[in-house]
Structure 1
Amino acid sequence: MSNATNYLENHWIDHQFRSAPYAKPTAAWVALYTAAPSDPGGGTEVTGGGYARVNLPPLDTNWTATQGGVAGASSGTSGTTTNAVIVTFPVPSADWGTVTAVAIYDAPTGGNPLVWAPLTTPRDIKAGDPAPRFQPGTLAIAVA
């Protein structure tokens, strides 16, 4: 289950129920963490060793509709979207540590965190390991 950050919750509420406009981000940058963030932010993002966030733009071809698949507007009841394509990080050139969480940002560095979630199975990533990846359907964002 994913968690919306305070940043996203506040902007969504102000846009949906108040008078503030909110422009959807044009990019969705997937980040890895060795210490999970929380709704206000924080946590410890992986650094060094060739690490970089991966852009998975908010497009129908990259994210499933709530009923599954990438065709048409969401009409399902799950309140969940998942990655429709493989998300592949660079090959680590140094140890990244044990990755315990993932987050999505609106920028390749810095920026605003939108959602985050702990990994079901943390993974210790070492120099020279194969490029870490999320297979289609394994990176889920749920609105509950």
Structure 2
Amino acid sequence: MGSFSDYLEGAILQHVFTTGLTGSALAVPDKFVALCTKTVYDTSTGAQLIEPSAASGYTRIQNETWDDPAGAGATENTGAITFAQASASWGTILDFAIVDALTTGNLLAYGALTISKSVASGDTPKFATGDIDITLA
């Protein structure tokens, strides 16, 4: 089985997460970070994600600040990603997802939290700079 080169991995990440590829006719997608209370899979879509209820103050957060992969095959968030304060319990967050729309949309990337987080009323969930690492290998 073949593999992508480091150059191609970096180019793909650059296109999706930063400036896009020079001369590319493809639009750079919007990126929204979602918190998920159920496991996310490769086959998941943005509409299939199980997220906290909007009635409890939850919404996906748009984030366009990602590190330029520069051929490294990896990128990370270069600014904090702060969600709204929970007005009721959001349950236990197991995974995060990056999708291309505020609601529904396409799944671009996802991962499990290192430690699941129970979000109670009054909590303000946040990913610090560099907390979300995306690799293409």
The residue identity in structure 1 corresponding to 2:76 is T
**What value does the CA root-mean-square deviation take over the aligned residues?**
1.5
Q: 1:142 corresponds to which residue?
A: 135
CA distance in 2 between counterparts of 1:134 and 1:94 reads 20
Task: Render the CA deviation track for 1:73-95: whole Å, top value 9, x for unaligned.
Answer: x14x3x11000000000000010
CA distance in 1 between counterparts of 2:51 and 2:77 reads 21
Q: 38-47 or 134-143, which moves further after superposition? A: 38-47
- CA change 1:43–1:36 in 2 (3 A) is farther
Residue 133 in structure 1 maps to residue 126 in structure 2: yes
The residue identity in structure 2 corresponding to 1:54 is I
For structure 2, the residue ranges without an aligned partner over 5 or more in a row are 1-11, 13-24
Task: Render the CA deviation track for 1:20-61: whole Å, top value 9, x for unaligned.
Answer: x74321x1000000101101104422223000000002xxxx
Structure 1 consecutive aligned stretches of length 4 or more whose deviation exceeds 6 Å: none
Q: Secondary structure at the match of 1:35?
A: coil
The residue identity in structure 2 corresponding to 1:98 is T
Q: 1:31 corresponds to which residue?
A: 34
Q: 1:47 corresponds to which residue?
A: 53
Task: Measure how far apart 1:97 and its partner are.
Answer: 0.4
CA distance in 1 between counterparts of 2:119 and 2:86 reads 8
Provide the aligned length of Structure 1 versus Structure 2: 110
More helix by share: 2
For structure 1, the residue ranges without an aligned partner over 5 or more in a row are 1-11, 13-20, 67-73
- CA change 1:53–1:43 in 2 (3 A) is closer
Calculate the TM-score normalised by the size of structure 1: 0.71
CA distance in 2 between counterparts of 1:109 and 1:139 reads 21
